[in-house]
Structure 1
Amino acid sequence: MAGAKPEAVTVIFGSVDGYTTSLPFQTIREKSLILAYGANGLDLPPAMGYPFIVVAEEKLGYKWARWVNSITLSDDADYRGYWEQAGYSNEAELPR
């Protein structure tokens, strides 16, 4: 990612309602994460997550942040977002 400092290991997504979640920077680079602003040729409606939704394939739903209005690169590998602070796995892997 352009301008990313080498010590950045975590990407934190913040939403307009204060919700946060994160993904490892390496995961985003390897999986080509999608930051969607529309679907089927239409802008993303507010009810679906406007202005942006994180499409985190292979992750549980709480990693699919909606209403994203900030993205922060962090050196905090242990960052915990809203659900992760409540005890949910920071990995959020789908069962196989």
Structure 2
Amino acid sequence: MVGLDIDNIRSPSIEDKTTIGLSFNIHNLSAEDQMIIGLDFDIRNLSVDDQMMVGLEFDICNPSVKDKTIVGPDFDIHNPSIDQMMVGLGLDIYNP
């Protein structure tokens, strides 16, 4: 329904890698199994390909779909030198 993407801030030294990305989406409320509101913020490691350094993710999903997350903030800090998660915090509230 509504989509906003700001992900064109890129590292000048690494081609086609997102340095900072922010995306916000509001999906069709009548469609089953669709996310209603989603916020995703990523800061990627410039020295390691495809590695997320800091990520914040917030989702509010369709409450009419059973077993879908209504609210779930997720915050991860990854190890910039290897593909391992250093710190992770996740909280999910599910549809009763």
Q: Tell me the TM-score normalised to structure 2 length.
A: 0.25
**Greater RCO, CA 8 A, separation 6+:** 1
Between Structure 1 and Structure 2, whose CA radius of gyration is higher?
Answer: 2
Q: Tell me the TM-score normalised to structure 1 length.
A: 0.25
Q: Which has the higher strand share?
A: 2
Q: Which has the higher helix share?
A: 1
